[in-house]
């Protein structure tokens, strides 16, 4: 009987200890929110995921499967399905794609691995939708292993995964202002206008002067 009571006491003490256990995140930050250990663990996990995938919010929307279906058909407004009502190349996700591509080229599978991993954590549907709509909008050039360009409207997930296709940013033409320049000051003013025009276009991807 005494052993049974002692066992119950130990179990009660363990239960109380676990209930009141403090949870710490990396760096030693204590998690105080939550009335139970489970609540605090959930909070710690959510905060940890937010720090690990701190660019997830760029793709935190619904409608990605539908957006991909529309983009694969060649509809340049496909991202409206996810709530983005301006041109696809202005979407924050698109700007991240352009920044990663730079002046190089990557297989579609490599791009998918990049943006589905840290610090993004974007869904498969979200990555597919953005790549497909940028392709449809002429902002990406997709080339098959044979070297032949892929026709717009034929962007399929299995093609991106299976074949060595490269996605390259398409340079945007910048309208350079034409004017008569007579002095160094006028030249500086003209160069400033050209710079401003190029910078505005750079927000949507690489430019060609």
For 136-164, give the DSSP string.
HTTSEEEE-TTSPBPPTT---HHHHHHS-
Residue-level pLDDT at 116? 93
What is the chain's mean pLDDT, rounded? 79
**H-helix or E-strand spanning residue 30:** strand 30-31
Cis bond upstream, residue 169 (ω within 30): no
Residues 201 and 19: their CA atoms lie apart, in Å, by 56
For tokens 């983005």, the residue is 84
CATH number attached to the domain at 58-170:
1.10.10
Quote the pTM value.
0.63
pLDDT-based confidence at 164, cuts 50/70/90?
A: very low
Within 13 A of 40's CA, how many CA atoms are on the CB side? 16
Residue 9 has pLDDT above 50, yes or no: yes
Nearest to 154 by CA among 132, 137, 169: 132
pLDDT-based confidence at 41, cuts 50/70/90?
A: low
Determine the longest span between alpha carbons in the chain, in angstroms: 106
Residue 18 has pLDDT above 70, yes or no: no
Q: pLDDT tens digit string along 101-157?
A: 887 778 888 888 899 999 999 998 999 899 889 888 888 888 777 777 777 777 777
Reading the block at residue 161, the tokens are 């995964």
For 17-56, give the DSSP string.
HHHT--EE-TTS-EE--SSSHHHHHHHHHHHHHHHHTTTG
Q: Report the DSSP beta bridge partners of residue 173.
A: 208
């Amino acid at each position: 009987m005494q052993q049974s009571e002692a066992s119950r006491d130990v179990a009660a003490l363990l239960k109380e200890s676990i209930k009141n256990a403090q949870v710490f995140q990396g760096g030693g930050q204590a998690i105080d929110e939550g009335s139970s250990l489970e609540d605090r663990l959930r909070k710690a996990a959510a905060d940890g995921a937010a720090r690990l995938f701190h660019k997830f919010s760029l793709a935190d929307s619904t409608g990605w499967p539908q957006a991909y279906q529309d983009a694969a058909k060649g509809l340049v407004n496909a991202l409206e399905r996810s709530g983005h009502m301006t041109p696809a190349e202005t979407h924050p996700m698109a700007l991240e794609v352009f920044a990663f591509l730079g002046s190089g080229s990557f297989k579609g599978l490599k791009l998918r691995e990049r943006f589905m991993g840290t610090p993004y954590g974007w869904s498969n549907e979200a990555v597919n939708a953005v790549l497909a709509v940028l392709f449809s909008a002429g902002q990406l050039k997709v080339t098959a292993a044979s070297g032949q360009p892929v026709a717009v409207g034929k962007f399929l997930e299995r093609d991106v995964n299976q074949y060595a296709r490269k996605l390259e940013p398409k340079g945007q033409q910048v309208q350079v202002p034409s004017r008569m320049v007579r002095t160094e000051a006028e030249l500086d003013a003209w160069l400033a206008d050209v710079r401003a025009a190029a910078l505005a276009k750079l927000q949507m991807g690489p430019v060609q002067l």
